[in-house]
Chains A and B, each alone.
Chain A
Amino acid sequence: QVQLVQSGSELKMPGASVKVSCKASGYTFTNYPMNWVRQAPGQGLEWMGWINTNTGNPTYAQGFTGRCVFSLDTSVNTAYLQISSLKAEDTAVYYCARGGSNGYYRGSDYWGQGTLVAVSS
Chain B
Amino acid sequence: QSALTQPASVSGSPGQSLTISCTGTSSDVGGYNYVSWYQQHPGKAPKLMIYDVSKRPSGVSNRFSGSKSGNTASLTISGLQAEDEADYYCSSYTSSSISYVFGTGTKVTVL
Q: A106, B34: Cβ atoms under 8 Å? A: yes
Alpha-carbon gap, A46 to B104, bound state (A): 9
Q: Is the CB of A95 within 8 A of B97?
A: no
Q: Is A62 an interface residue, CB under 8 A from the partner?
A: yes
Shortest distance between the CB of A106 and any CB in chain B (Å): 6
Of the residues B34, B45, B47, B50, contact of A105 by C-beta under 8 Å: B34
Q: Which residues of B sit under 8 angstroms from A35, Cβ to Cβ?
A: 100
11 contacts between A and B (CB under 8 A): A37-B46, A37-B102, A47-B102, A105-B92, A105-B93, A107-B57, A108-B46, A108-B48, A109-B48, A111-B45, A114-B45
Find residues 1-60 in chain A having any chain B CB closer than 8 Å to their own CB.
Answer: 35, 37, 44-47, 49-50, 59
Q: Does B36 contact A (CB under 8 A)?
A: yes
| A105-B102 in contact (CB<8A) | no
Is the contact region of chain B dominated by helix, strand, or loop, or is it mixed?
strand
Contact of B105 with A by CB under 8 A: yes
Closest 9 CB pairs of A and B: A107-B51, A105-B93, A111-B45, A44-B105, A107-B36, A45-B102, A47-B100, A109-B48, A105-B100
Task: Name the distance in Å between A21's Cβ and chain B's nearest Cβ.
Answer: 16
Whether a CB of chain B sits under 8 angstroms from the CB of A88 is no
Question: Which residues on the B side are within 8 Å of A107 (C-beta)?
Answer: 36, 48, 50-52, 55, 57
Contact surface of A with B, Cβ cutoff 8 Å: 35, 37, 44-47, 49-50, 59, 61-62, 95, 97, 100, 103-109, 111-114
Q: How far is the CA of A45 from the CA of B47 in the complex (A)?
A: 12
Q: In the complex, which residues of chain B have a beta carbon less than 8 angstroms from the beta carbon of A46?
A: 102
Complex interface: chain A residues within 8 A of B40 (CB): 45
Q: Closest approach, in angstroms, between the C-beta of B101 and any C-beta of chain A?
A: 6
Q: Does B64 contact A (CB under 8 A)?
A: no
Question: Which residues from A are CB-within-8-Å of B100?
Answer: 35, 47, 50, 61, 104-105
The smallest C-beta distance from B103 to any residue of chain A, in angstroms, reads 8
CB distance from B28 to the nearest CB of A (A): 10
